[in-house]
Amino acid sequence: MDCIKQGEGTTFVREILDRYPKEQRFLLAILQDIQKRCGYLPREALELVREHLDVPLSRLYSMATFYKALSLKPKGRYAIKVCDGTACHIRDSRGLVDALEKLLGIGPGETTEDGRFSLETVNCLGSCALAPVMVINDVYYAKVTPEKIAGILRRLEGEDDGDI
């Protein structure tokens, strides 16, 4: 969700900043709140954080690129995470990624042109007994096979107007 460009402006960023003292120790929490609201960290929001905490913009970018939970690019409406931890890898998580790449036409770290889907692999989702595991917008899908992927994505159509 590109909340800055959709006319929401930066008011929500100021509201987030007002909840925190002007201390650098709150930087990560502030960035997480913005990320939660927008789905990524817009440049305009980072500029406001820089002003509020009087920190160099390079420090904000450093944190945003260091922490995998933060992103400088918009994510898709459906953020797909495929676990590639040991248990999932052994149970063919790569096959899930291959199926998603074929169906969506994107690779890990990318977002579809229509902004509906983004794909990423993660080191572990902490659900080894359910391997292989895939998460879409915080909904866990257990023991997924490449053959189940298309059906899972089609079920999302009920929440969306587009075709998969």
Q: What is the CATH number of the domain that holds 13?
A: 1.10.10
SS3 state of residue 119:
strand
User: Which ranges of the chain does DSSP label H, i.e. alpha helix?
Assistant: 11-18, 27-38, 43-53, 57-66, 86-90, 93-104, 146-156
Report pLDDT for 163.
56
Whole-structure pTM value? 0.73
Which of 66, 101, 117 corresponds to the end of one domain?
66
Q: Which helix H or strand E contains 122, and what residues bound it?
A: strand 117-122
In the block, tokens 């994505």 appear at: 153
Range of the domain at 153: 78-159
Report pLDDT for 82.
96
Residue 164 lies in a domain: no
Give the chain's residues under pLDDT 70. 1-9, 157-164
